[in-house]
């Protein structure tokens, strides 16, 4: 038995040796890989595919991922490819023969800001301010939305929330995580000249053809004028218009006065109880007493009290040019108090300077309604008085998706001409 076992052992050993020699003759070719750092621009969870754009280029590489792909998040924890996010900066290695992801990880020097709701862009300097820091963006910076849609930088609104990522002082991706929509008012002529209050967060004068940009969510809207008041609740969805119809409400005309303001020079800002008012037409106010402030760059701020106790009233306000420091020290106590009592109003007048000698023209898309900071301006093509500074242009047209663009109008003593892309048909209408 021992011999037989030994013999069997020899046979088994011969078999292993043969297999080993045979395997050595079939040498496997090494797998070729390629690595780069880029931004995730598209994720297809059904196909298990991902597109990554190499930083500082326009080159997108489409790759496949599976359970064998080693992927980690910013905390160096392993995650599945389906958990990746648009706009993430990743160091990626993939096989060149079948574009299979070998590994992905967040670079050690990459930074990220989440839930950003305070940000500004300077299109002249190609800079973006986030969390009090200034960063540079470029043509290669990825701007997108959480719903896997590429967007233009100008489509971002101060009502949005963003996730911003970059390396060093460069911004490589900006992704809108919470967007904005619009509130469209109908049949509210009884409230013109009054005020609209949106969740005590936004308070605006009521004007014709109102279209108000707000963050997505549910709001309690109160519209009032004098003794008349109406409230409704509305839910706003991203890039959609929500309509509020006030035809079932009527105003009370008891104890309401019509006040006309003549302010010199033209272009000054007028505030009633701290709210900026369009005084190009008479304003309806409930009987009572109001604080009035008028301001304009280069002029002393006016402040005073207005008592409305009659059906019609005209108020004339003339602002005095600012003098040098020595003479400014001898201003009346009322003028000094006005300058310090409403710093917010003064700041607004600086960023919303009106250039009555020049205009803003909007030439496209034809037939769309134009709103400047929620105030109706006309139907494209249209022209209106130039307002200088950062503001929002909103375009609306029946049957099409409403679009907003953040713009900077320069104080350059020239007419401003604006043209925007065609609106996209709304599939829900």
Strands (E), 168-277: 170-178, 180-186, 195-198, 202-205, 211-215, 217-225, 228-236, 241-245, 256-264, 269-272, 275-277
Give per-residue pLDDT as tens, 110-126. 999 999 999 999 988 99
Instruction: Kindly report the pTM of this predicted structure.
Output: 0.63
Ordered domains of the chain (ranges, CATH) = 33-105 (2.40.50.320), 110-178 (2.40.50), 180-249 (2.60.40.1120), 256-318 (2.60.40.10), 353-419 (2.60.40.1120)
Burial class (CB in 10 A: 0-12, 13-18, 19+), 17: exposed
pLDDT higher than threshold 90 for residue 190: no
- What's the rounded mean pLDDT across residues 248-269? 79
The C-alpha R_g of the chain, in whole angstroms, comes to: 32
Q: Which of 130, 128, 157, 127 minimizes the C-alpha distance to 145?
A: 157
- What's the rounded mean pLDDT across residues 78-94? 96
Report the share of the chain in percent with pLDDT over 70. Answer: 85
Cis before 145? omega within 30 = no
Reported as a pLDDT band with limits 50, 70 and 90, residue 219 is very high
Burial class (CB in 10 A: 0-12, 13-18, 19+), 273: middle
Reported as a pLDDT band with limits 50, 70 and 90, residue 311 is confident
> What confidence score (pLDDT) does residue 7 get?
35
> What confidence score (pLDDT) does residue 47 get?
96
Give per-residue pLDDT as tens, 313-325. 889 898 888 875 3
Could you give the angle at the alpha carbon of 88 between the alpha carbons of 83 and 89, nearest 5°? 130
For residues 290 and 282, what is the distance between their CA atoms, to the nearest angstrom? Answer: 16
pLDDT higher than threshold 60 for residue 332: no
> What confidence score (pLDDT) does residue 325 get?
37
> What confidence score (pLDDT) does residue 182 get?
95
């Amino acid at each position: 038995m021992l011999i037989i076992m030994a013999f069997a052992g020899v046979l088994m050993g011969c078999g292993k040796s043969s297999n080993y020699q045979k395997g050595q003759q079939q040498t496997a070719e090494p797998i070729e890989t390629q690595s780069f750092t880029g931004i995730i621009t598209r994720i297809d969870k059904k196909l298990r595919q991902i597109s990554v754009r190499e930083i500082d280029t326009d080159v997108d590489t489409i790759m496949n991922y599976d359970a064998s792909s080693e992927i980690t998040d910013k905390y160096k924890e392993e995650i599945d490819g389906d958990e990746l996010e648009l706009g993430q900066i990743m160091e990626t290695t993939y096989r060149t023969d079948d574009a299979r992801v070998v590994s992905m990880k967040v670079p050690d020097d990459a930074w990220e800001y989440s839930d950003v709701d305070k940000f500004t862009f300077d299109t002249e300097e190609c800079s973006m301010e986030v969390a009090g820091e200034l960063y540079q963006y470029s043509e290669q910076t990825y701007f997108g939305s959480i719903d896997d849609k590429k967007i233009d930088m100008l489509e971002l609104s101060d009502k949005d929330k963003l996730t911003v990522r970059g390396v060093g002082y460069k911004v490589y991706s900006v992704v809108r995580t919470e967007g904005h929509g619009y509130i469209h008012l109908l049949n509210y002529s009884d409230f013109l000249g009054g005020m609209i209050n949106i969740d005590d967060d936004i308070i605006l004068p009521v004007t014709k053809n109102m279209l108000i940009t707000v963050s997505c969510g549910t709001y309690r809207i109160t519209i009032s004028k004098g003794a008349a008041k109406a409230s409704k609740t509305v839910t706003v969805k991203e890039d959609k218009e929500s309509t509020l119809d006030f035809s079932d409400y009527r105003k009370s005309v008891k104890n309401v006065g019509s006040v006309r303001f003549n302010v010199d020079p033209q272009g000054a800002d007028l505030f009633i109880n701290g709210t900026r008012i369009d005084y190009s037409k008479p304003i309806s106010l409930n009987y009572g007493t109001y604080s009035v402030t008028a301001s304009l760059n280069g002029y002393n701020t006016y402040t005073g009290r207005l008592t409305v106790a009659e059906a019609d009233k005209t108020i004339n306000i003339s602002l005095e040019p600012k003098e040098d420091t020595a003479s400014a020290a001898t201003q009346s106590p009322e003028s000094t108090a006005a300058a310090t009592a409403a710093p917010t109003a003064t700041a607004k007048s600086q960023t919303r300077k009106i250039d009555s000698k020049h205009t803003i023209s909007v030439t496209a898309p034809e037939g769309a309604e134009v709103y400047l900071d929620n105030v109706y301006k006309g139907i494209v093509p249209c022209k209106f008085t130039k307002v200088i500074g950062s503001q929002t242009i909103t375009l609306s047209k029946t049957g099409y998706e409403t679009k907003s663009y953040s713009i900077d109008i320069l104080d350059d003593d020239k007419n401003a001409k604006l043209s925007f892309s065609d609106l996209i048909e709304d599939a829900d209408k």
